[in-house]
Amino acid sequence: MTFTRRNFLKSTAVAGVAGSVGFPHIWIKDSGAAWAANGEIKVGVLFSLTGTTAVVEKSMHNATMMAIDEINAAGGINGMKLTAIVEDPASDPATFADKSNKLVLNDKCVSVFGSYTSASRKAVLPVFEKRKNLYWYPTLYEGRECSKNVMYTGAVPNQQQKEFIPWLVKTFGKKFYLIGSNYIYPKEENNVCKILLKELGGEVVGEEYVPLGHSEFGSVLNKFRETKPDVIFSTVVGDSVIALHKQYKAAGFSPDKMPMASLTTSEVEIAAMGGEYAAGHFTSAPYFMGHQSKENEVFVENYRKRFGKESVTHFVSEAAYFQMHLFRKAVEKIGKGDITPIAVRDATAGLEIMAPQGKVKVDGDNLHCYLWPKIGQAQADGQFKVIQQSSDWVKPEPYWAYPGQSCTKDGLKGA
């Protein structure tokens, strides 16, 4: 006999002594009723309010809380209020895992909304898979993941790089320097970039990873000087983005000749560094703050009313915002007693919603979102000018760079 929790439950129950020994009671409540008790639905909000990626995650936290308040102000979901349980994982993956265990096991949240870096998502993933809970991840990421316990509402490489890299090669040239933060997201995103460049006849003249929170780019800039790339492909994240842009400009480089092309730099980092440092560089994303639509006008106006006239929205906070409304729409479809994380997931698959960027849809198979890719150039006022945009929404293909593999309803196929 193995001494696992479930077997232990059975054996003690059979013996008729359940509860008298050291038995963990939380497992008794593994039914639907526990997830929406006392007329409230508990959701976890797990964004770093401190540490190196707080610069971005704080705004994601804000957007999430704003959506929760909107939902509650409109009467909640089927009469039940959303209760947000906020934790600060301090930009550290181990703390992310720890806090999500708490949110799932102790607070019994039916879903957790959170995180920016892939390192933190990879850290919490096993928790949600083991505990059969649901994690909502609003950030763009590197793809090559197919979890049935995560809703991915950010872009994957085929929604960012597919148009972007060919455009960069055509406009600026074939020599790329790949600079990223030292963790999984930049590595895998660069894997995809290299596959694309190979097809296009491009060349990687340098590939470098700096620690998260790094702020001394002198040696890296000298390498740019030495290798003379046409494009600097940057997957640097967090406050390092700010240091990199400032030092790039201070070193006398010009974005006309050697622009930085990023998948992560957004309005929020630019607001922190000052528009003049970002002006001229490029970002590929499904949403920019200046997007013209009725939904976006409302979103930006409400956001600024709440968080100040100077505050900005960006493609990650936009996803953090609309995914909460996706959650609302999904829970509305479920009966009160039937709310479980898995039921929420199944109700979300295939769902459509009007987001600030346009109408988005959750793919029924891979649980990623159909999004509207754009290429933007940063301006001195801190906003992006859209250079090119797709005419239709683009289907998410998390295994796009790996032909023969695909993420289906039953998990990864063809690996």
Partner 1 sequence: MSKSTLSRSKPYAQLAAYLLFCAVILAVPSFVTDAFLLNKFARYLALGLAAAALALSWGYAGILNLGQGVSFGIGAYAIAMHLKLKTSPVHTGSAGLPDFMVWNNLDHLPWFWQPFHSSLFAVAAGILAPVVVALLLGSFMFRARIAGVYVAIITLAMLAVVNLLFIDQQAYTGGFNGITDLAWLEAGSVTFDPYSPAFYYLSAGALSLCLLLGLAFTRSKAGLILQAIRNDADRVRFFGYDVAAYQSLAFAVSAGMAGLAGMLYAMVLEFASPTFMGVPLSLSMVIWAAVGGRGSLLGAAIGAILVNFMQGSLSESFLDTWQLILGGMFILVVVFLPNGLSSLIGILADRLTRPARQTPDTALAALSEAPRAGRTPS
Partner 2 sequence: MDIFFGQLFTGLSIASILLLVALGLAIIYGAMGVINLAHGEFVMLGAYGTWFLQSQFGLPLIPCLLLVFFMVAAAGWVVESTVVRFLYHRPLDTILATWGIGIMLQQAVRLSAGAELRYVQTPEFLSGSIDIAGVGIPSYRLFILALTAALLALTWFVIQRTEFGMKLRAVTQNREMASCYGINSARIYSLTFAFGSGLAGLAGALVAPIKSVAPDMGTNFVVDAFMVVVVGGVGSLIGTVVSSGLLGSGTAGIAFLLNDTLAKALVFLAVVVLVRFRPQGLFVDQRRR
407 phi, psi to nearest 5 deg? -95, 115
What is the rounded radius of gyration, in angstroms, for the C-alpha atoms of the chain?
Answer: 22
The CB-of-303 to partner 1 minimum distance in angstroms stands at: 24
**x-or-dash string of contact with partner 1, 322-341, rule CB under 8 A:** --------------------
Neighbours of 378 (CB within 10 A): 28
Applying CB under 8 A, does 88 fall inside the site for partner 1?
Answer: yes
Applying CB under 8 A, does 211 fall inside the site for partner 1?
Answer: yes
Beta-carbon contacts of residue 6 (< 8 Å; ≥ 6 apart): 27
Applying CB under 8 A, does 106 fall inside the site for partner 1?
Answer: yes
**x-or-dash string of contact with partner 1, 3-22, rule CB under 8 A:** xxx--x----------x-xx
Pair of tokens at residue 275: 């528009």
User: Is 398:143 a contact under the CB 8 Å cutoff?
Assistant: yes
Residue 360 binding result from partner 1, partner 2, none, given CB thresholds of 5 to 8 Å by partner type: none
Neighbours of 10 (CB within 10 A): 12
Q: Which of 13, 17, 26, 251 binds partner 2 (CB under 8 A)?
A: 251
Applying CB under 8 A, does 246 fall inside the site for partner 2?
Answer: yes
Applying CB under 8 A, does 312 fall inside the site for partner 2?
Answer: no
Residue 304 binding result from partner 1, partner 2, none, given CB thresholds of 5 to 8 Å by partner type: none
* Helix orientation angle between 157-171 and 184-200, rounded to the nearest 10 degrees: 50
For residues 245 and 179, give the distance between their C-alpha atoms in angstroms, rounded to a whole number.
12
Applying CB under 8 A, does 379 fall inside the site for partner 1?
Answer: no
Pair of tokens at residue 380: 């001195």
Closest CA to 62 of 318, 287, 261: 318
Applying CB under 8 A, does 308 fall inside the site for partner 2?
Answer: no
Q: Which amino acid is at 329?
A: K
Residue 184 binding result from partner 1, partner 2, none, given CB thresholds of 5 to 8 Å by partner type: partner 1
Residue 87 binding result from partner 1, partner 2, none, given CB thresholds of 5 to 8 Å by partner type: partner 1
The conformational region for residue 238 under phi > 0 = left, psi -120 to 50 = alpha, else beta, is: left
Q: Which of 32, 72, 76, 86 binds partner 1 (CB under 8 A)?
A: 86
**x-or-dash string of contact with partner 2, 130-169, rule CB under 8 A:** ----------------------------------------
Residue 94 binding result from partner 2, partner 1, none, given CB thresholds of 5 to 8 Å by partner type: partner 1
Applying CB under 8 A, does 182 fall inside the site for partner 1?
Answer: yes
Residue 309 binding result from partner 1, partner 2, none, given CB thresholds of 5 to 8 Å by partner type: none
- Going from the C-alpha of 154 to that of each of 49, 54, 112, 312, 394, the distances in angstroms are 20, 18, 16, 18, 12
Q: Which of 50, 106, 388, 408 binds partner 2 (CB under 8 A)?
A: 50
User: Is 141:125 a contact under the CB 8 Å cutoff?
Assistant: no
The CB-of-8 to partner 1 minimum distance in angstroms stands at: 7
Choose the stretch contacting partner 2; rule: CB under 8 A; options: 211-219, 303-311, 326-334, 368-376.
211-219
Pair of tokens at residue 56: 């971005």
Number of H helices, E strands in the chain: 13, 17
Pair of tokens at residue 42: 């508990």
**x-or-dash string of contact with partner 1, 132-171, rule CB under 8 A:** ------------x---------------------------
Residue 123 binding result from partner 1, partner 2, none, given CB thresholds of 5 to 8 Å by partner type: partner 1
337 CB burial (10 A radius; 0-12, 13-18, 19+): exposed
67 phi, psi to nearest 5 deg? -65, -40
Q: How many residues does the chain have?
A: 415
Applying CB under 8 A, does 97 fall inside the site for partner 1?
Answer: yes
Applying CB under 8 A, does 250 fall inside the site for partner 1?
Answer: no
User: Is 377:281 a contact under the CB 8 Å cutoff?
Assistant: yes
Beta-carbon contacts of residue 112 (< 8 Å; ≥ 6 apart): 43, 44, 45, 46, 100, 103, 104, 124, 128, 133, 134, 135, 136
User: Is 229:169 a contact under the CB 8 Å cutoff?
Assistant: no
399: β partners:
none
Applying CB under 8 A, does 220 fall inside the site for partner 1?
Answer: no
Binding site for partner 1 (CB under 8 A): 1-5, 8, 19, 21-27, 86-88, 92-95, 97-98, 101-102, 105-106, 118-119, 122-123, 125-127, 144, 182-184, 187-188, 191, 209, 211-212, 415
Binding site for partner 2 (CB under 8 A): 49-51, 54-55, 58, 88, 182, 208-211, 214-216, 218-223, 225-226, 239, 242-243, 246-247, 249-253, 272-274
